[in-house]
Amino acid sequence: MKKRFFSMFMVSLMAGAMMIGCGDKTTDGKDAKTEVASDGQTYKVGIIQYVDDASLNQIVDSLEKQLDVLAEEKGVTFEYEDYYCNGQADSTTINQMVSELINDEVDILVPIATPTAMICQAATEDNQIPVVFAAVSDPEGAGLVASNDAPGSNVTGTSDALNTEAVLDLMIEQDRDLSKVGLLYDKSQDASAAPIAAAKEYLDAKGIDYVEKTGTTNDEVMLAADALIAADVEAVFTPTDNTIMTAELGIYEKFIEAGIPHYCGADSFALNGAYLGYGVNYATLGTETANMVAEILVDGKDPATLPVKVLDNGTATVNTDTAEALGLDYEKLRDLCDGFVEIQTAEEFE
């Protein structure tokens, strides 16, 4: 998968001012798509990625590929290369990028992850540009839609809502004597709030102690991981948290050395070294997001009446390298999952 990079920076030597731009990127040796389809209309699709991590990169890659497929099928052109931005988890930067895309008169905004979706929602309250988000774990809780079934605004999209109980069932099945669990997350990530609350309720009901540690930067996450190890937790749970995801390659070996399996809310965590990821297929989520974009732009559907697409949970992804290093037999988990995938440690999905 192509690696995503931050949008261009231009530094003025006279004023010392920084200008942040979107797009103007090429992919796999191809120039940005600028030609109008010979038999149809051209639509500008603004894509705003929250941060680089394996999950979000996979979503964007699948989204763009499906837009190309749909463009050919429907006889239109989706321009996205010049309207792609990566905010690198900086809200000020993301706000500037969204404003730039609106000034570029994009036809639709596609924010990837909850923080970017909330910024796009605020930026389109007056102009009502359609917004189709991707990978928002709790659209209602974040205030993005009135309900998943009837959004009632210019905002809809796809959700990667996590079945927290199912993840923790796998954790307990793996270790029936489990007595203390670490909860590792970023308290500023809205996507983590509901699953962490659900995890606490679940563990309380099971009589299992838990220790919470949080971080908002890679360095803080590293310290939080060290603190959980020092607290003698026997397993760690992380929901679909982008901050922890970006730090996973830096912490997974710590947990392995301590003999602690890390259970997470996405397959990308397992790709980056965690023992087990559970949740949606992010390639499918990107495809479904593109389908919704086409429904609105080409088919004329109103986002206010287009239900949020909630993908099915049920696929566990086990890192076999990590399982071997921890001495864990994961075969007994297969029957508890709708899907089961074995994977080895890598930085990006192929």
| Percentage of the chain modeled with pLDDT above 70 | 89
Q: How far apart are CA 163 and CA 167, in angstroms?
A: 7
Task: Report the pLDDT value the prediction gives residue 39, as an integer from 0 to 100.
Answer: 58
Q: Reply yes or no on whether the pLDDT at 158 is more than 70.
A: yes
Q: What CATH number was assigned to the domain covering residues 164-279+314-343? A: 3.40.50.2300
> Average of pLDDT values for 311-332?
95
Q: Reply yes or no on whether the pLDDT at 267 is more than 80.
A: yes
9-160+281-310 and 164-279+314-343 in the same fold? yes
Q: How far apart are CA 115 and CA 98, in angstroms?
A: 12
Q: What are phi and psi of 133, to 5 degrees?
A: -85, 160
pLDDT band (50, 70, 90) for residue 21: low
* Per-chain mean pLDDT for the chain: 90
HSE of 54 in the Cβ direction (CA atoms, 13 Å)?
24
**pTM of the model as a whole:** 0.84
Task: Report the pLDDT value the prediction gives residue 118, as an integer from 0 to 100.
Answer: 97
Pull the structure tokens for residue 188. 């500023």
What single DSSP character describes residue 286? H
| CATH fold label, 9-160+281-310 | Rossmann fold (3.40.50)
> Average of pLDDT values for 270-288?
95
Q: Reply yes or no on whether the pLDDT at 80 is more than 60.
A: yes
Task: Report the pLDDT value the prediction gives residue 205, as an integer from 0 to 100.
Answer: 98
pLDDT band (50, 70, 90) for residue 40: confident
SS (H, E, C) 150-201: CCCCCEEEEECCCCHHHHHHHHHHHCCCCCEEEEEECCCCHHHHHHHHHHHH
Side chain identity, residue 217: T
Domain ranges for the chain: 9-160+281-310, 164-279+314-343
Pull the structure tokens for residue 148. 């998943």
Q: Reply yes or no on whether the pLDDT at 32 is more than 60.
A: no
Q: Are the C-beta atoms of 85 and 49 separated by less than 8 Å?
A: yes
| Strand boundaries in the chain, DSSP class E | 9-11, 18-20, 42-49, 77-79, 84-86, 108-112, 131-133, 155-159, 180-185, 209-214, 235-238, 262-264, 276-279, 309-310, 315-319, 339-343
> Average of pLDDT values for 281-307?
96
In tens, the pLDDT along 123-155 reads: 999 999 999 999 999 999 999 999 999 999 999
pLDDT band (50, 70, 90) for residue 33: very low
Pull the structure tokens for residue 287. 């495809």
